[in-house]
Structure 1
Amino acid sequence: MADLVYPPVIAFAKTMFRALNMKITILGEEHVPASGGAVIACNHISYLDFIFCGLGARQSRRLVRFMAKESIFRNRIGGPLMRGMHHIPVDRDAGMASYKAALAALKAGEVVGVFPEATIDQSFTIKDFKSGAVRLAAATGTPLVPMVLWGTQRFWTKGRPRDLTQRGVAITIRMGEPLHPTRKDNGDTVSAELRSRMKTMLVEVQRGYPQKPAGPDDLWWLPAHLGGTAPEPEVLEAEAQ
């Protein structure tokens, strides 16, 4: 498919990265295949995650087609961009259409990006997963690449005012060894393995992160188990019920 919108959007993003002097570290880029279909399963801690998830795949010269909420496609500014980059709208009331669109993209050799937590995790850990990423990879015989991001929440996350002007923020993007689920595999088992790998990767990235909170008022972007003030997963789960 023709990509007239994606390249200039990437160029603009890279210009902003340089202008803000971001300290971006990309690890495991060799795990994204240079050709053929693949599913990337990424954690979700920020409204900007699709930008950095896509950046991780660019090391293999791939463009990621993200599954995103249909409401974004109705936005006056975001809609034309999302459609121009051939992302896949997800209507929760008609999920089969988006699933079929993602299947078609994978069969055509595209990389499809999925946030299996479905929503931003305000605890900055790893929430329970939806099964879509595993089902897509199994149905098409494509590799399932785990990815984790860290630092993106410092710019713009759920429940916090956005601050897109911070300079020198460190961002870590890490990809792990792909899983290769098949139709014969138990989907719940594969999802549990994917989540376990991503939890391990995220903890390692968090512990190796080169920057610390500036003071007590800056502890919000750290999870509670690392001494931060982000809400515990159990608290968020109770509030959601």
Structure 2
Amino acid sequence: MRDIVYPPVVGFARAAFKVLDLRFTMTGTENVPRTGGAVIALNHISYVDFILGGYGAVPSGRLVRFMAKEVLFRNRYSGPLMRGMHHIPVDRSAGTASYQQAVRYLGEGEVVGVFPEATISRSFELKEFKSGAVRMAAQAGVPVIPLILWGTQRMYTKDHPRDFTRHRPISITVGEPITVTPEDDATEATAHLRTTMAGLLDQTIRAYPEQPAGAWWLPASYGGGAPTPEEAERLDQEELRRRAAKRSGRS
């Protein structure tokens, strides 16, 4: 796949990370294969996860093709970049096309980035997973690579203002490849992926250099001020109702 846009974007991102003096702790990046297709499954805690998550594949020399909301491809600013980097538009009302495009990319030896939670977690703990990541990996005959991000929620997430304060710690933890086959039960394989990522998330949070009690960006189960998963689900449902009412008003 010819890349004209992606390498300069990676260079720009690296320059931005340097300006912000982000303090990266990256472990397990050798688990991203240097050749061949792979699905990278990431947790989702912020609006900048696709930028920082892609950085986890840079040591292996790989460019990640992320599955992202179709609206980003229609935006006059982000659209040309998303298309130029060969990311995959996801239209939730017609997801088959994006799924098949991802499988095709994998068959061509590309790395595809997927957020199994589909939306940002307000609790910063893992939500329920969709099965698409393991199904496409099984169909394409490639491994699933679990990847955990931590600290990105402090930069730009739901219900909080953007904060690009310098010297912020950012942790990226990459787990060992998980093999899935067409014979595996997709529900069980997805549950295994979620359990694996939950363990990596716990490990990453506990190793994070800042643990202030009551901090809004720390999960409630770790003594932080973030909503519990149950409270986060309620907030998600309220958001969906507001969006539906807004769409109804426009129509």
Give the TM-score band, short-chain normalised.
over 0.9
Paired residue type of 1:9: V
Q: Map of 1:82-231 to 2, 5 A cutoff? A: 82-164=82-164, 166-213=165-212, 219-231=215-227
Would the alpha carbon gap of residues 239 and 162 (structure 1) be closer, same or farther in structure 2, given more than 3 Å must change?
closer
Unpaired runs of at least 5, structure 2: 238-251
Q: Which amino acid aligns with 2:56?
A: G
For 2:155 and 2:231, the matched residues in 1 are separated by 23
Q: CA deviation at 1:212?
A: 3.5
SS of structure 1 residue aligned to 2:56: helix
**SS in structure 2 at match of 1:89:** strand
Q: State the alpha-carbon separation in 1 of the partners of residues 162 and 74 from structure 2.
A: 22
Q: Determine the C-alpha separation between the residues in 2 that align with 1:222 and 1:137.
A: 32
- The letter of the residue matching 1:197 is T
Corresponding residue of 1:17: 17
Question: 1:39 and 1:181 mapped to 2: Cα distance?
Answer: 11
Which residue pairs with 1:31 in the alignment? 31
The 3-state SS of whatever aligns with 1:220 is coil
Equivalent position of 1:234 in the other structure? 230
Q: The residue matched to 1:145 in structure 2 has which SS?
A: strand
SS of equivalent residue, structure 1 residue 190: helix
The one-letter amino acid paired with 1:234 is E
State how far apart, in whole Å, the 2-side matches of 1:68 and 1:85 are.
12
Q: Distance in 2 between matches of 1:104 and 1:38?
A: 12
Count of residues paired in the alignment? 237
Q: Distance in 1 between matches of 2:217 and 2:236?
A: 20
Alpha-carbon offset, residue 236 of structure 1: 2.0
The CA deviation string for residues 161-200 of structure 1, in whole angstroms up to 9 with x for no partner, is 1122x01000000100111100000011100000001001
What's the Cα RMSD here?
1.1
Q: Secondary structure at the match of 2:57?
A: helix
Q: With structure 1 as the length reference, what TM-score do the two structures score?
A: 0.96
Extract structure 1 runs of 4+ deviating beyond 3 A.
Answer: 238-241
Give the 3-state SS of the residue equivalent to 2:3 in structure 1.
coil
SS in 2 for 1:228: coil
Offset at residue 238 of structure 1 (A): 3.6
Residue type matched to 2:52 in 1?
F
- Structure 1, unpaired ranges of 5+: none
SS in 2 for 1:221: coil
Structure 1: how far apart are the matches of 2:82 and 2:207? 33
Give how far 1:239 is off: 4.2
Question: Which residue identity does 1:211 align to in structure 2?
Answer: E
Distance in 1 separating the partners of 2:217 and 2:121: 11
Aligned residue type for 1:195: R
Q: After superposition, what is the alpha-carbon deviation per residue over 1:52-91, rounded to whole angstroms, capped at 9, x for unaligned?
A: 1110011100000000000011111111000000000000
What does residue 3 of structure 2 align with?
3
TM-score with structure 2 setting the length:
0.92
